């Protein structure tokens, strides 16, 4: 993944504003999205376009790894960023001012229940989102590269 390529941010209004502030301030604004709720920036390579795409996601920790949830608010389909990382698991991550390369993988059935608990502690609405959809909402593990 080349950092010299142009990165396309999420097109949605408030998300795009959140990402812009996060990048411009090295995470001083945006890392803590709401009191006690922290976000990271995830950059994936588009599975169809090949372009770099960045979005902001709530995260949790599992040891040295970062966790994010592909909930899309309980929508019936996975979010595009998740489909992108399935095709291209090498991703870029920004947590506050720190930037690093990571390898993304979906949590397996033996570890997901524990990781799900970590993530609903960070954002309790994930449990509600799961009730809105028939798909199993994935927990994604971001392992430093």
Strands 98-106 and 65-69: what pairing? Answer: unpaired
Give the pLDDT confidence score for residue 12 in this predicted structure.
Answer: 67
Rounded to two decimals, the pTM is 0.93
pLDDT tens figures, 56-82: 999 999 999 999 999 999 999 999 999
Q: Where are the domains of the chain?
A: 7-144
| 7-144 homologous superfamily | Electron Transport, Fmn-binding Protein; Chain A (2.30.110.10)
Percent of the chain scoring above 90 in pLDDT: 88
| Burial tier of 96 (Cβ tally within 10 Å: 0-12, 13-18, 19+) | middle
- At 5, is the pLDDT very low, low, confident or very high (cuts 50, 70, 90)? confident
């Amino acid at each position: 993944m080349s950092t010299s390529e142009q990165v396309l941010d999420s097109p949605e209004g408030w998300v795009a504003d959140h990402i812009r502030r996060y990048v411009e301030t090295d995470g001083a604004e945006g890392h803590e999205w709401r009191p006690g709720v922290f976000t990271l920036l995830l950059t994936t390579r588009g599975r169809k376009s090949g372009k770099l795409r960045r979005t902001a996601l709530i995260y949790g920790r599992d040891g040295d790894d970062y966790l994010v949830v592909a909930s899309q608010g309980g929508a019936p389909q996975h979010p595009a960023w998740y489909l992108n990382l399935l095709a291209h698991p090498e991703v870029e991550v920004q947590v506050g001012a720190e930037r690093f390369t990571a390898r993304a993988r979906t949590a397996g059935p033996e570890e997901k229940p524990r990781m799900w608990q970590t993530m609903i502690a960070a954002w309790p609405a994930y449990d509600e989102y799961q009730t809105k959809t028939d798909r199993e909402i994935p927990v994604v593990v971001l392992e430093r590269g």
